Amino acid sequence: MQKKIAVILSGCGFQDGAEIYESVLTLLRLDEKNVSYQCLAPDIPQMHVINHATGDETPDSQPQGSASRSVLAESARVARGEIQDLANGNPDDFDAVILPGGFGVAKNLSTFATQGADCEVNQQVQQFVQAFHKAGKPIGLMCIAPALTAKLVAPGALCTIGNDPGIEGALVNMGALHKTCPVNEIVVDNTNKLVTTPAYLLATRLTEAQAGIFKLVDKVLEMA
Protein backbone atom coordinates (compact mmCIF):
# COMPACT_ATOMS: atom_id res chain seq x y z
CA MET A 1 0.00 0.00 0.00
CA GLN A 2 1.31 3.45 -0.94
CA LYS A 3 2.24 5.64 2.00
CA LYS A 4 0.46 8.95 2.47
CA ILE A 5 2.06 11.90 4.24
CA ALA A 6 0.40 14.95 5.78
CA VAL A 7 2.24 18.25 5.18
CA ILE A 8 1.11 21.14 7.39
CA LEU A 9 1.66 24.62 5.95
CA SER A 10 1.47 27.95 7.77
CA GLY A 11 0.87 30.43 4.95
CA CYS A 12 2.97 31.57 2.00
CA GLY A 13 6.31 33.34 2.45
CA PHE A 14 9.03 32.83 5.03
CA GLN A 15 8.48 36.09 6.93
CA ASP A 16 4.78 35.60 7.63
CA GLY A 17 3.93 32.07 6.48
CA ALA A 18 5.46 28.82 5.32
CA GLU A 19 8.99 28.90 3.86
CA ILE A 20 8.28 28.28 0.17
CA TYR A 21 11.58 26.58 -0.71
CA GLU A 22 11.31 24.24 2.28
CA SER A 23 7.72 23.40 1.40
CA VAL A 24 8.46 22.74 -2.27
CA LEU A 25 11.58 20.69 -1.53
CA THR A 26 9.53 18.58 0.86
CA LEU A 27 6.83 17.96 -1.75
CA LEU A 28 9.45 17.34 -4.45
CA ARG A 29 11.18 14.64 -2.41
CA LEU A 30 7.87 12.97 -1.57
CA ASP A 31 6.98 12.96 -5.25
CA GLU A 32 10.40 11.59 -6.21
CA LYS A 33 9.77 8.74 -3.75
CA ASN A 34 6.36 8.12 -5.36
CA VAL A 35 4.64 8.87 -2.06
CA SER A 36 1.16 10.36 -1.82
CA TYR A 37 0.79 13.54 0.20
CA GLN A 38 -1.84 16.04 1.28
CA CYS A 39 -1.16 19.63 2.27
CA LEU A 40 -3.24 20.94 5.16
CA ALA A 41 -3.51 24.27 6.98
CA PRO A 42 -5.79 25.74 9.64
CA ASP A 43 -8.41 28.20 8.42
CA ILE A 44 -7.34 31.05 10.72
CA PRO A 45 -6.14 34.63 10.19
CA GLN A 46 -2.40 35.03 9.91
CA MET A 47 -0.68 37.28 12.43
CA HIS A 48 0.25 40.01 9.95
CA VAL A 49 1.33 40.62 6.36
CA ILE A 50 4.97 41.30 5.49
CA ASN A 51 6.23 42.92 2.31
CA HIS A 52 8.95 40.41 1.44
CA ALA A 53 10.79 42.96 -0.70
CA THR A 54 11.27 45.38 2.20
CA GLY A 55 10.63 43.31 5.32
CA ASP A 56 8.06 45.87 6.46
CA GLU A 57 4.64 45.05 7.83
CA THR A 58 1.95 46.20 5.43
CA PRO A 59 -1.84 46.27 5.27
CA ASP A 60 -3.43 43.76 2.94
CA SER A 61 -4.63 44.89 -0.48
CA GLN A 62 -8.26 44.14 0.36
CA PRO A 63 -10.72 47.05 -0.02
CA GLN A 64 -10.99 47.64 3.72
CA GLY A 65 -7.22 47.50 4.09
CA SER A 66 -7.49 44.59 6.50
CA ALA A 67 -4.08 43.31 7.59
CA SER A 68 -5.34 39.75 8.01
CA ARG A 69 -5.21 36.92 5.49
CA SER A 70 -6.35 33.35 5.84
CA VAL A 71 -3.55 30.89 6.57
CA LEU A 72 -5.50 28.28 4.61
CA ALA A 73 -5.96 30.54 1.57
CA GLU A 74 -2.32 31.62 1.59
CA SER A 75 -1.11 28.02 1.98
CA ALA A 76 -3.19 27.10 -1.05
CA ARG A 77 -0.81 29.24 -3.12
CA VAL A 78 2.04 26.88 -2.28
CA ALA A 79 -0.08 23.76 -2.78
CA ARG A 80 -1.51 24.96 -6.13
CA GLY A 81 -4.97 24.86 -4.61
CA GLU A 82 -4.69 21.24 -3.45
CA ILE A 83 -5.15 22.06 0.22
CA GLN A 84 -7.36 20.72 3.00
CA ASP A 85 -8.67 22.54 6.04
CA LEU A 86 -6.81 21.05 8.98
CA ALA A 87 -10.08 20.94 10.92
CA ASN A 88 -11.28 18.30 8.46
CA GLY A 89 -8.03 16.32 8.43
CA ASN A 90 -7.91 12.86 10.01
CA PRO A 91 -4.51 11.69 11.29
CA ASP A 92 -5.67 8.09 10.79
CA ASP A 93 -5.54 8.71 7.03
CA PHE A 94 -1.79 9.36 7.07
CA ASP A 95 1.40 7.45 7.82
CA ALA A 96 3.45 10.48 8.94
CA VAL A 97 3.33 14.26 9.23
CA ILE A 98 5.89 16.90 8.18
CA LEU A 99 5.96 20.60 9.05
CA PRO A 100 8.10 22.86 6.85
CA GLY A 101 9.34 25.97 8.60
CA GLY A 102 8.97 29.65 7.93
CA PHE A 103 7.99 32.18 10.56
CA GLY A 104 4.33 31.36 9.97
CA VAL A 105 4.98 28.45 12.33
CA ALA A 106 6.03 30.92 15.03
CA LYS A 107 3.42 33.57 14.13
CA ASN A 108 0.35 31.73 12.84
CA LEU A 109 0.54 28.17 14.18
CA SER A 110 1.76 29.40 17.56
CA THR A 111 2.65 32.52 19.51
CA PHE A 112 6.35 31.62 19.71
CA ALA A 113 7.37 34.78 17.81
CA THR A 114 5.90 37.02 20.52
CA GLN A 115 5.99 34.86 23.65
CA GLY A 116 8.94 32.52 23.23
CA ALA A 117 8.98 29.73 25.79
CA ASP A 118 5.61 30.92 27.15
CA CYS A 119 3.96 30.42 23.77
CA GLU A 120 0.75 28.62 22.98
CA VAL A 121 0.31 26.34 19.97
CA ASN A 122 -2.80 26.42 17.81
CA GLN A 123 -5.05 23.72 19.25
CA GLN A 124 -5.88 22.15 15.88
CA VAL A 125 -2.20 21.86 14.98
CA GLN A 126 -1.21 20.54 18.40
CA GLN A 127 -3.93 17.89 18.49
CA PHE A 128 -3.25 16.79 14.91
CA VAL A 129 0.50 16.34 15.41
CA GLN A 130 0.15 14.74 18.83
CA ALA A 131 -2.20 12.16 17.32
CA PHE A 132 0.75 10.93 15.24
CA HIS A 133 2.97 10.76 18.30
CA LYS A 134 0.37 8.80 20.25
CA ALA A 135 -0.07 6.40 17.32
CA GLY A 136 3.69 5.82 17.02
CA LYS A 137 3.85 7.46 13.60
CA PRO A 138 6.87 9.57 12.54
CA ILE A 139 6.96 13.35 12.65
CA GLY A 140 9.28 15.63 10.67
CA LEU A 141 9.96 19.23 11.75
CA MET A 142 12.29 21.66 10.02
CA CYS A 143 13.65 25.19 10.40
CA ILE A 144 11.80 26.99 13.24
CA ALA A 145 9.19 24.24 13.71
CA PRO A 146 11.38 22.17 16.12
CA ALA A 147 11.18 25.09 18.57
CA LEU A 148 7.71 23.76 19.38
CA THR A 149 8.89 20.17 19.91
CA ALA A 150 7.93 19.90 23.57
CA LYS A 151 4.37 21.03 22.86
CA LEU A 152 3.91 19.46 19.43
CA VAL A 153 5.47 16.10 20.26
CA ALA A 154 6.47 15.51 23.90
CA PRO A 155 8.68 16.93 26.67
CA GLY A 156 12.10 15.33 26.57
CA ALA A 157 12.06 14.81 22.80
CA LEU A 158 15.38 15.41 21.03
CA CYS A 159 15.49 17.92 18.17
CA THR A 160 17.59 20.55 16.41
CA ILE A 161 17.21 24.08 15.11
CA GLY A 162 20.89 24.18 14.13
CA ASN A 163 22.86 26.36 16.52
CA ASP A 164 20.80 29.46 17.40
CA PRO A 165 21.32 30.06 21.15
CA GLY A 166 18.15 32.11 21.59
CA ILE A 167 15.80 29.60 20.00
CA GLU A 168 17.65 26.71 21.63
CA GLY A 169 17.22 28.29 25.06
CA ALA A 170 13.49 28.75 24.52
CA LEU A 171 12.87 25.20 23.33
CA VAL A 172 14.91 23.77 26.21
CA ASN A 173 12.92 25.90 28.66
CA MET A 174 9.76 24.35 27.21
CA GLY A 175 11.12 20.89 27.94
CA ALA A 176 12.74 19.64 24.71
CA LEU A 177 16.33 18.46 24.29
CA HIS A 178 18.55 20.08 21.68
CA LYS A 179 21.45 18.85 19.61
CA THR A 180 23.57 21.17 17.47
CA CYS A 181 23.41 20.13 13.83
CA PRO A 182 24.85 21.36 10.50
CA VAL A 183 22.49 22.48 7.76
CA ASN A 184 22.92 19.36 5.64
CA GLU A 185 22.20 16.85 8.40
CA ILE A 186 19.29 15.63 10.53
CA VAL A 187 18.75 14.76 14.17
CA VAL A 188 16.73 11.61 14.82
CA ASP A 189 14.90 10.80 18.05
CA ASN A 190 14.07 7.13 17.54
CA THR A 191 12.08 6.87 20.77
CA ASN A 192 9.66 9.60 19.70
CA LYS A 193 9.99 8.90 15.96
CA LEU A 194 10.95 12.54 15.43
CA VAL A 195 13.24 13.85 12.67
CA THR A 196 14.44 17.47 12.55
CA THR A 197 16.77 19.58 10.40
CA PRO A 198 17.84 23.26 10.49
CA ALA A 199 16.95 24.07 6.86
CA TYR A 200 16.79 27.87 6.38
CA LEU A 201 17.73 28.69 9.94
CA LEU A 202 21.23 27.93 8.63
CA ALA A 203 20.99 27.52 4.85
CA THR A 204 22.48 30.20 2.63
CA ARG A 205 21.82 28.30 -0.61
CA LEU A 206 18.97 26.21 -1.94
CA THR A 207 21.22 23.17 -2.25
CA GLU A 208 22.17 23.41 1.43
CA ALA A 209 18.53 23.33 2.45
CA GLN A 210 17.85 20.52 -0.02
CA ALA A 211 20.43 18.21 1.53
CA GLY A 212 18.93 18.25 5.02
CA ILE A 213 15.30 18.30 3.87
CA PHE A 214 15.77 15.31 1.55
CA LYS A 215 17.42 13.39 4.40
CA LEU A 216 14.54 14.30 6.70
CA VAL A 217 11.91 13.13 4.21
CA ASP A 218 13.82 9.91 3.50
CA LYS A 219 14.14 9.12 7.22
CA VAL A 220 10.48 9.88 7.91
CA LEU A 221 9.48 7.52 5.10
CA GLU A 222 11.85 4.85 6.40
CA MET A 223 10.31 5.13 9.88
CA ALA A 224 6.73 5.06 8.55
Q: Which are the catalytic amino acids?
A: 143
How far is 157 from 139, CA to CA, in rounded Å? 11
Closest CA to 195 of 160, 164, 167, 163: 160
Which of 66-93 are b and which e, b meaning 16 or more Cβ less than 10 Å from the residue's Cβ?
eeebbbbebbbbbbeeebbebeebebee
**Residues shown for the chain:** 224
Whole-number Cα distances in Å, 100 to 56, 65, 66, 109, 216 = 23, 29, 27, 12, 11
Closest CA to 104 of 131, 77, 82: 77
